[in-house]
Structure 1
């Protein structure tokens, strides 16, 4: 796939993570895809695995949305900088709902093959997120 095609695929991926649309998951994510998730000992796999990741986020932040702030594409490799926004309305990492709004940066690296995602290394600012919901002191 071309760099331009991979940029289009990345924008469709943002639509997917903001809607958790199962049809988009199947269109965009390889059945063999591997997603390395901070705090998880084993990677998540395939469309179902990514829907599980989104489900974990939505359990704590039902209104969570990702905005793609910056995108660098070089062949099959993609670097993306996101801002996540949401409201802490459910238990997240054992922290009961605080009702607090979050604004968290994330830097993710992807590999695509034949127009589908085959690998992700996600690096959200978990310390910043946990500070914003009151789980960790901010000073």
Structure 2
């Protein structure tokens, strides 16, 4: 499978369709978050079950979270995507109650591929804009 196809399928099946049972199909046994500002897992290497736990931290507050890939560029063992994330906050975020507000954020992720599987990412997006849209700041 081409690296770009791998990432597009991963984003659709895992993030958009929430088919967590497919995590081993897409992820290497160890997944490293190289850089992802304000992500509690930044700098950590996760196994499949830990990656699923990380996803639940997003799906709980935003069960309808959806990523629309705008661009994808593959270069060797890296695939860079730009995306628009949308969702509705119907679950608690830490100490903050659900707001039932819709959010939209743009970002970019560089996925690192190893032996045909995703082995980690480097990511940038403005989480502050989400907190503003939710009325928390």
| Structure 2 equivalent of residue 74 of structure 1 | 75
Q: Provide structure 2 residue ranges, at least 5 long, that are not aligned to the other structure.
A: none
Q: Helix, strand or coil: the match of 1:60?
A: coil
Q: Aligned in 2, Cα 1:56/1:44: closer, same or farther, shift over 3 Å?
A: farther
Residue correspondences, number: 133
Match of 2:18 among 17, 20, 25: 20
Q: CA deviation at 1:93?
A: 4.0
Matches within 5 A, 1:93-104: 93-104=94-105
Name the TM-score, length of structure 1 as normaliser. 0.86
Q: Aligned in 2, Cα 1:130/1:44: closer, same or farther, shift over 3 Å?
A: farther
Q: Provide structure 1 residue ranges, at least 5 long, that are not aligned to the other structure.
A: none
| Structure 1 equivalent of residue 60 of structure 2 | 59
Q: Helix, strand or coil: the match of 2:104?
A: strand
Name the TM-score, length of structure 2 as normaliser. 0.87
RMSD (CA atoms): 1.7
| Structure 2 equivalent of residue 116 of structure 1 | 117
Q: Aligned in 2, Cα 1:55/1:103: closer, same or farther, shift over 3 Å?
A: same
Once superposed, which parts of structure 1, at least 4 consecutive aligned residues long, lie more than 4 Å away?
none
Residue pair 1:77, 1:112 contacting (<8 A) in 2 also: yes
